[in-house]
Amino acid sequence: MASPPAKVVLYNPRAVFFTMPLALVALASALDRGRFAPLIVDGRLEPDPVARLVHECRDALALGVTVLTGAPLGDALAVTRAVKRALPELRVVWGGWHPSLFPRECLEQEPAVDAVVIGQGEEALSGLLGRWQGAEPLEGLAGAAWRRGRRVVTGPPRALRDLSAFPAHDYDLIPVERYFLAKRRRQLDYVSSQGCRFRCSFCADPGVYKRGWSGLAPERVADEAAALWRRHAFEELAFQDETFFTQPARVTALAEAFLVRELRFTWTATLRADQGARMDDALYALLRRSGLRRVMVGVEAGSQERLDWMQKDATVEQVLLTAERLARHDLAAIFNFIVGFPGEPRESVEATLALLKRLRRLSPRFETPVFFYRPYPGTPIAEAARAGGYELPADLDGWAAFDYVGSRGPWVSAELQAHVERLQFYARHAWGPGGAWRLPLRAAARWRVERDIYSWPVEKWVLERLRPPAPRS
Q: Which residues contact 226 (CB under 8 A, 6 or more apart)?
A: 261, 263
Residue (of 207, 188, 179, 10) closest to 99 by Cα position: 207
- Among 33, 38, 85, smallest CA distance to 64 is for 38
Q: Which CATH number fits domain 185-367+375-407: 1.20.120.1730, 3.20.20.70, 3.40.50.300, 3.30.70.920?
A: 3.20.20.70
**What does the alpha-carbon distance between residue 419 and residue 326 come to, in Å, rounded to a whole number?**
28
SS3 assignment, position 332? strand
Phi, psi values for residue 269, rounded to 5°: -160, 170
Beta strands in 279-426 (DSSP E): 292-300, 332-339, 366-367, 370-372
DSSP state of 456: S
8 Å CB contact between 276 and 325 = yes
Buried b / exposed e across 196-223, counting CB within 10 Å, b at 16+? bebebebbbbbbbbeebbbbbbbebbbe
Question: Where in the chain are the domains?
Answer: 6-154, 185-367+375-407, 413-473
Residue 120 burial (10 A CB sphere; 0-12, 13-18, 19+): buried
**pLDDT score at 47:** 97
Per-residue pLDDT tens, the chain, 473 aa: give them. 568 999 999 999 999 889 999 999 999 999 999 999 999 999 999 999 999 999 999 999 999 999 999 999 999 999 999 999 999 999 999 999 999 999 999 999 999 999 999 999 999 999 999 999 999 999 999 999 999 988 999 999 999 999 999 999 999 999 999 999 999 999 999 999 998 989 999 888 887 778 889 999 999 999 999 999 999 999 999 999 999 999 999 999 999 999 999 999 999 999 999 999 999 999 999 999 999 999 999 999 999 999 999 999 999 999 999 999 999 999 999 999 999 999 899 999 999 999 999 999 999 999 999 999 988 877 899 888 888 888 888 899 999 988 665 567 888 899 999 999 999 999 999 987 777 777 888 999 999 999 999 999 998 888 888 775 543 33
Contacts of 26 (CB under 8 A, 6+ apart): 121, 122, 166, 169, 191
> What was the pLDDT predicted at 209?
79
Q: Determine the Cα–Cα distance for residues 81 and 59; give it in Å rounded to an integer.
A: 18
6-154 to CATH, choices 1.20.120.1630, 3.40.50.300, 3.40.190.290, 3.40.50.2300: 3.40.50.2300
Beta strands (DSSP E) in 191-265 are: 193-195, 213-215, 236-239
Contact 187, 22 (CB under 8 A): no
Taking the whole predicted model, whether its pTM rises above 0.85 is answered as yes
Residues 6+ apart with CB under 8 A from 202: 300, 310, 338, 341, 373, 376, 379, 380, 381, 382
pLDDT of residue 472: 39
